[in-house]
Homo-oligomer: A and B are copies of this chain.
Amino acid sequence: METLTPTSTCSHTRVGLTTSKPTEFIDLTARIEALVADSGVDVGFVNIQTLHTTTAIVVNEGEPLLLGDFTALLEQAAPRDRRYRHDDLIARTVNITAEERVNGHAHCRALLLPSSACLNISAGTLMLGTWQRVFLVELDGPRVRHVSILIAGEGRR
């Protein structure tokens, strides 16, 4: 007869994905739930962090028309056609790359959204309400993007 003893676990995963639109909500929930199951963590948390400055991590409902409302809200908060100083490549002196994009609006939208989400794990399950889904929000796509996922807690292995 095997006796399981509690053990402390801490594991990191880097996930790559490709977005296809200027603004897009990529549902990461199934991936995160699979990583939580694989981790063997019983009680703990998962921290999902974007590695980019024109993306965000949000938790909300994944109803398609609602995602359209979110896109309209972000366009209202920081319109794409407004002039942003960040896009004035004559005035700018730093952080200029060969493939520089006109993306001041995307940085401003990212400022208003979280760059990470910390979610709890209980009884081996990612704590999410009925309608909660975890999204990488693309704000300046299409692009190749990376997300960093840390799972930590106590498990039974």
* A binding-site residues for B, Cβ under 8 Å: 8, 10-12, 14, 43-45, 47, 49-53, 58-66, 68-70, 73, 77-78, 84-86, 88, 91-95, 104, 107-108, 110-122, 127-129, 131-132, 146, 148-150, 152-154
Additional 18 contacts, C-beta under 8 A, given A111-B113, A112-B113: A8-B8, A11-B43, A12-B121, A12-B122, A45-B47, A51-B127, A51-B132, A52-B132, A53-B132, A59-B115, A60-B111, A65-B86, A65-B88, A66-B84, A70-B111, A115-B132, A116-B117, A122-B150
CA distance A95 to B131 in the complex (A): 8
Chain B residues, CB < 8 A from A73: 77-78, 108, 111-112
Closest to A135 in B: B111
